[in-house]
Amino acid sequence: MESNHSRLLLALVMVLLFSVIVLQYVCPGTDCQLLRLSSLSSKLGDSASRGGGDRNDGDSGDPYVAEDRTMARFVPRFNFTTGDLNRSVDFNIKGDDVIVFLHIQKTGGTTFGRHLVRNIQLERPCECHAGQKKCTCYRPGKRETWLFSRFSTGWSCGLHADWTELTSCVPSLMDTREPPKMQNGPRRNYYYITILRDPVWRYLSEWRHVQRGATWKASLHVCDGRAPTLAELPSCYPGDDWSGCTLDDFMDCPYNLANNRQTRMLADLSLVGCYNLSATSEPERGAALLESAKRNLKGMAFFGLTEYQRKTQYLFERTFRLAFIAPFTQLNGTRASAAGQEAGPETQRRIRQLNRWDVELYEFARDLFLQRFQWARQVERRQARERRQRERRRMRARGQAWRRGERREGPLWPTPAPVDWGPEESRDRVRGQVPAPAAWWDPEENTTMADYLDNVEHW
């Protein structure tokens, strides 16, 4: 009975060892092993979450899959070129390049803006002091800023400046503050970035914000050389006192600038006469602003989505080759989500109708964002696979050269110096009376992988 148990145990051990050897041959590098382990932990995490409710986003093996299940059911709607998807810029923080953050109200821009000044690994981190909202973000070895945002330069171009204002204000303002060293030298590269959010939740969040007494009248800026006067603003502009108002009151305002705010702030307003609503009809104005916003968004160096925090972090890091210190977190318990529970399906349908341009812009942005994420992950996997293949070829060539005693790009082991045994010792060695000398190569060079490859060739 004991012999049967021993044989069974020996057979299991042999099967396990054989499996390990085959796995090492198929994937000799450590990257593949870690990838398999992470895939297994991801599956375990998925099954546990299905059985025991929601889990933390970071519990699963792949944080991007754990964030949501979007990629499993994502079907692209728009056709984009390789240049649109392969978004990577040559950002030179030590040169003259500047990142410009276009901060749209109630999109999570405050959180992202803090990440930019407090959460990036830099040779010269931003200097942030307690009690001060602004941080000093200088380049290494220079007293020049590389970031134009609320938390670095303040609202230098106006409160929540839009695309029209920023593109005309930032270059001249930067040249005034930091004059170029050469008048005819290369111009600065400005990389515009922004964050978008689902229009319904953004709208509800803005209503909650102005209901608490916030005002954004100062966020209307110069367009075509002039700023709108207070007389031109509608009587129900959200900058008025909305404390105590209901959501219906907020939606009933026919000229509420919260409507389609994301489209308007990303478009070139000079195309439609800025804030002059009588310049064009409402359908023509909306269509022109939407196409302009899509074009500008696609041309930006980077944009993220509030609903996909980890993917936003991933794409930013790959685009600018900068790494964040701590991972982004997905917070679902916002005031907008609480307001969404109060707003029924009919109210949400009405909000979508009021923000139909923003809804279409967000669908376009979400499609482009997820396609960029897919593209970046495919490139990353292909590069990892090519590295593993090069490693296998190198190890296989090394094993073959070791068996043949060949030398590839220099000797694999040091060549021994000739030894004069003498006539008597040579005769004794032939007779087997003198033991062979110790191996002259370094035992460390005779790796187990080379031995293994030698065995595989015989299989």
If you compute the radius of gyration of the chain from its CA atoms, what whole number of angstroms results?
A: 32
Long-range contacts of 394-398 (CB under 8 A, 24+ apart): 395/28, 395/449, 395/450, 395/453, 396/453, 398/450, 398/453
The pLDDT value given to residue 56: 41
Whether pLDDT at 286 is above 50: yes
Tokens of 108: 């999570």
Tally of CA atoms within 13 A in the half-sphere of 450 that contains its CB:
16
Q: At what angle do helices 356-404 and 282-299 cross, to 10 degrees?
A: 20
Alpha helix ranges (H) inside 27-81: 30-52, 63-67, 70-73
Q: Order across the sheet with 98-102: list the strands.
A: 147-148, 98-102, 190-196, 302-305
For 100, the enclosing helix (H) or strand (E) is: strand 98-102
Looking at the DSSP bridge assignments, the partners of residue 145 are 138
The pLDDT value given to residue 22: 62
Whether pLDDT at 225 is above 60: no
The pLDDT value given to residue 430: 44
For 416, the enclosing helix (H) or strand (E) is: none
The pLDDT value given to residue 276: 77
Task: Give the model confidence (pLDDT) of 165-197 as tens digits.
Answer: 999 999 999 999 998 877 766 789 999 999 999
Tally of CA atoms within 13 A in the half-sphere of 129 that contains its CB:
2
Taking residue 161's Cβ as centre, other Cβ atoms within 10 Å add up to 23
32 and 384 in contact (C-beta within 8 Å)?
no
Confidence of residue 433 (pLDDT cuts 50, 70, 90): very low
- Portion of the chain with pLDDT greater than 70, in percent: 66
The pLDDT value given to residue 135: 97
Task: Give the model confidence (pLDDT) of 35-60 as tens digits.
Answer: 333 444 444 444 444 344 443 443 44
Q: Which of 449, 306, 446, 320 is nearest to 391 (CA)?
A: 449
**413 or 84, higher pLDDT:** 84
Whether pLDDT at 161 is above 70: yes
The pLDDT value given to residue 353: 97
What are the catalytic residues?
160
Confidence of residue 377 (pLDDT cuts 50, 70, 90): very high
296 and 267 in contact (C-beta within 8 Å)?
yes
